[in-house]
Amino acid sequence: MTTYSIRMRSALDGQHISGAERLAPPEDLPQLAASMTSRALEHDKGVAETITISIDRIDDEAVRIVDVLEPVQTDNDSPASARELITALLQESGITAADEAVRLAYTLTGLRGAAIIDADTGQRLDSDPARGVRVSTFDAVEHPASDCGKDHFHEAIILASKVASAPGILAEICLSDDPFYTKGYAAVGKRFYRIPNIKAAGGKLGTRIFIVAPGTDIESLTDYLENQPVKIDLSALPPVSAESAPAPARESLDTVARRRNDAWADEGLSRSLRTFSSPQVPHSTIDGRDYLLFSSSDYLGLSTHDALIEAAVAATRRLGTGSGGSRLTTGTSIHAELERELASFFEFDDAVLFSTGYQANHSTIAAIAGADVEIFSDAGNHASIIDGCRAARARVTVFPHLDYVALHAALSSSTARHKLVISDAVFSMSGEVIDVPGLESTCRSHAAWLMLDDAHGVGVLGDMGRGTANHFGVRPDILVGTASKALGVEGGYVLCSTEVATLLRNQARSFVYSTSMNPGSVAAIGAALDQLRGGIVGKRLRENITAVRALLGLSEDAAASAILPLPVGDEARAMDVSAALAERGIFIPAIRYPTVARGEAMLRLTVTARHDEADIARLGRELKDLGLI
Note every long-range contact of 568-577, with CB atoms under 8 Å and residues 24 or more positions apart, other chains counting: 568/601, 568/602, 568/603, 569/599, 569/600, 569/601, 570/599, 570/601, 571/268, 571/269, 571/598, 571/599, 571/601, 572/268, 573/601, 574/601, 574/602, 574/603, 575/268, 575/601, 577/603, 577/626, 577/628
The three-class DSSP label of residue 608 is coil
Residue 230: CB atoms within 10 Å: 24
Which of 456, 471, 484, 561 is the catalytic position? 456
418 catalytically annotated:
no
CB 192 within 8 A of CB 72: yes
For the sheet containing 64-67, what is the strand order?
Answer: 64-67, 230-233, 138-140
Task: Encode 604-618: b = buried (16+ Cβ within 10 Å), e = exposed.
Answer: bbbbbbbbeeebbeb
456 catalytically annotated:
yes
- H-run or E-run covering 412: helix 404-413
Contacting residues for 48 by C-beta, under 8 A, at least 6 apart: 10, 11, 12, 17, 18, 40, 41
Q: How far apart are the C-alpha atoms of 464 and 462, rounded to whole Å?
A: 6
485 catalytically annotated:
yes
Within 290-334, where are the H helices?
306-319
Which of 485, 514, 516, 561 is the catalytic position? 485
How does DSSP classify residue 562?
Answer: S
- C-alpha distances (whole Å) from 8 to each of 52, 151, 629 are 6, 16, 44
Nearest to 600 by CA among 627, 565, 563, 553: 565
CB 532 within 8 A of CB 345: yes
Q: Using DSSP bridges, classify how beta strands 169-175 and 207-212 pair: parallel, antiparallel or unpaired.
A: antiparallel
The three-class DSSP label of residue 419 is strand
CB 455 within 8 A of CB 481: yes
E strand intervals along 473-556: 478-482, 492-496
Residue 561: CB atoms within 10 Å: 23
564 beta partners: 605
Give Cα 328 to chain centroid, integer Å: 31
Q: How far apart are the C-alpha atoms of 470 and 437, rounded to whole Å?
A: 11
398 beta partners: 377
Query: Hey, what's the torsion of the CAs at 367, 369, 371, 377, to 10 degrees?
Result: -140
Which of 161, 284, 428, 561 is the catalytic position? 428
Residue 81: CB atoms within 10 Å: 15
Compute the C-alpha angle 118/124/129, nearest 5°: 150
Which residue numbers are catalytic?
Answer: 428, 456, 485
